[in-house]
A and B are shown apart, each in its own frame.
Chain A
């Protein structure tokens, strides 16, 4: 599903150059649930942004579902994001003047799906995350956990090949975090490939594979025995 070879990325800050990724080799097969871990500054968010075609690598190759991601113009990049990827952010990033239902329906709008069908699909995903009763609430009328569940529904709505989550539980308390992880595990059980960036070991333990970054390199990459949330709660 994801093939990365010798990925480099550096940022220019003033005169000094910050070499963030120093040759990442990494591949993910379909149906995996991967936690990318590391202390802040290790390059884990940069890696996720490159994976999400939100940012571009300086060198190296990135193949997503057989499609090489290289030198894309903005229009093509946005098409690929829409088709291949679903995003979940730490700060939810819901559009605050749109209802939960409209937020979930937004990626479908950019796929050119008509509003009636869009709303039906969006509703089915809201049902899946258990929020069909809150479909007409605005984001500021929802709790943190509810917002993240709406965001997950939105990420799922466009039927992406890979779900990318950047600290999805970073802004949530433990109980809500586990609820969100339970949802993510459920989605993964249905066969969706999911990558999660996190620095919380308990969240990482709920994944199937842990990749640890340090100073722009992968220092550890191991398959683990997944801890099910239901056992913890």
Chain B
């Protein structure tokens, strides 16, 4: 393999037969290139979808009311379910063991917020301190709603980063400023960021108690949200949360006189179950891209084998001459194989690098809600190049072996 004389011989053959080298190289390089593009796209879609669902804690359980669609115990259809503080208290007491973070929520739909000359409409939600973890929000500066805010009906507001940039621009620091939310003045105590992106950062949180009082909601709540303690086993976590949501549904439906099979009077969303579906979906997408990629590689290998066959055919006479001049069969096989391995490896790397460059170049510009960070695991790509080279060598071996078997007399016979 490391015989310099032989390499010189091979380089000469390669450089003097440019078209042949080019054709072999292109088929290999394009195979690897396509694979890298496919794997990158698969990864991008996977990342994008996961980002979409990373906006909330993955084990979030939300409950919000609707209208009855079934008669129950003499009560009619179309009754509105009204959740109260009491519901929240009962549920949190009864299911204490299941619950990690908990919050009742009273949303002020489209709160109009004013600061100086700036004004905007944002979602305003009255929440409990724990809600930060349910939302997966992290504090950029200041703090989140705390227990004393709730107890003292403080007019404190935690605003999303987008809200902060909208209202305060660059010039003002948000912390400590007073903002007007639907006619009432609040003090900004914190700014948060959310992995869900801008859409999730266009919200403002205020204490639940303040919201109910300020907007005359009495003890009404709009919804409840919980997270469950983390489980290491994903399937066990899904099973636990399913059990919890079922029990939860039973208790609340009983309290509100809702038929047990009425699906529209009370909505319970279990994000973990959703997450499971998402993970399965992204797995399928990944598997699909791998499937297509591997087929591409197989096509590449067949292509290389095919070209090798033609190369041997084309070189039959040369091989005959070489054999007449004293080339052993082993040296003929080595010559052809080494040449094919060399070309496959070099062009494979070129395809790999080209593919990575394309993603590096267009990656940022194709970034969108459902597509992000289209990266390719370099090791996987490298393994594929080596795999292709080995497979190409095998594909090349058969024609090489045939070539070595050619009787010089047959090869040299005049056409």
Measured CB to CB, the residues of A under 8 A from B are 49, 52, 54-55, 74-75, 78-79, 81-83, 87, 89-91, 93-95, 97-98, 102, 106-107, 109-111, 114-115, 154, 158
Contact = CB atoms under 8 A, between A and B. Distances in A.
Nearest to A95: B318
B8 interface: yes
A143 to B, nearest CB: 19
- Max count, chain B CB within 10 A of own CB: residue among A54, A81, A158: A54
B325 A114 contact: no
Contact of B8 (A49, A89, A115, A158): A115
B350 interface: no
Given A97-B13, A97-B17, A115-B8, A55 B326 contact: no
Given A74-B404, A98-B12, A106 B325 contact: yes
Q: Is the interface of B mostly helix, strand, loop or mixed?
A: helix
Contacts of A79: 326, 328
Contact of B322 (A54, A83, A91, A106): A106
- Max count, chain B CB within 10 A of own CB: residue among A74, A75, A83: A74
A102 B12 contact: yes
A111 B326 contact: yes
A81 B409 contact: no
Contact of B9 (A90, A109, A158): A109
B403 to A, nearest CB: 12
Interface residues of B, number: 28
5 contacts: A52-B324, A75-B329, A78-B328, A107-B325, A110-B322
A67 B320 CA distance: 24
- Max count, chain B CB within 10 A of own CB: residue among A49, A83, A95, A98: A95
Contacts of A107: 325-326
B327 A89 contact: no
A54 B409 contact: yes
A83 B325 CA distance: 9
A98 B323 CA distance: 16
Contact of A74 (B317, B320, B328, B414): B328
Given A87-B324, A97-B13, 16 more contacts: A52-B324, A75-B330, A78-B326, A81-B324, A82-B326, A87-B325, A89-B412, A90-B414, A91-B414, A98-B12, A98-B16, A102-B12, A107-B326, A110-B325, A110-B331, A114-B5
B111 interface: no
Contact of A54 (B5, B13, B407): B407
B217 interface: no
B414 A54 contact: no
Contacts of A98: 12, 16
A81 B414 contact: no
Interface string B301-325: 0000000000000000110111111
Contacts of B408: 54
A83 B331 CA distance: 16
Contact of B329 (A74, A109, A158): A74
Nearest to B318: A95
Nearest to A91: B414
A52 B409 CA distance: 10
A83 B328 CA distance: 13
Interface string B228-252: 0000000000000000000000000
Contacts of B8: 115
A83 B16 CA distance: 29
Contacts of A78: 323, 326-329
A154 B330 CA distance: 22
A115 B329 CA distance: 22
Contacts of A82: 325-326
A49 B413 CA distance: 11
Interface string B122-141: 00000000000000000000
B14 to A, nearest CB: 10
Contacts of A75: 328-330
Given A49-B409, A109-B5, A83 B317 contact: no
- Max count, chain A CB within 10 A of own CB: residue among B325, B329, B412: B325
Nearest to A170: B414
Interface string B377-415: 000000000000000000000000000110111001010
Contacts of B320: 93
Contacts of B409: 49, 54-55
A231 to B, nearest CB: 32
Nearest to B414: A91
A75 B405 CA distance: 11
A55 to B, nearest CB: 5
Contacts of B329: 74-75, 78
A81 to B, nearest CB: 5
Contacts of A49: 409
Nearest to A110: B326
A115 B320 CA distance: 22
A110 B327 CA distance: 6
B227 to A, nearest CB: 72
- Max count, chain A CB within 10 A of own CB: residue among B17, B329, B412: B412
Nearest to A83: B326
B5 A81 contact: no
Contacts of A90: 414
Nearest to B6: A109
Given A74-B329, A95-B318, A55 B324 contact: no
A154 B12 contact: no
Nearest first, the 9 closest Cβ-Cβ pairs linking A and B are A82-B326, A97-B16, A110-B326, A54-B409, A107-B325, A75-B328, A78-B328, A74-B329, A93-B321
Nearest to A78: B328
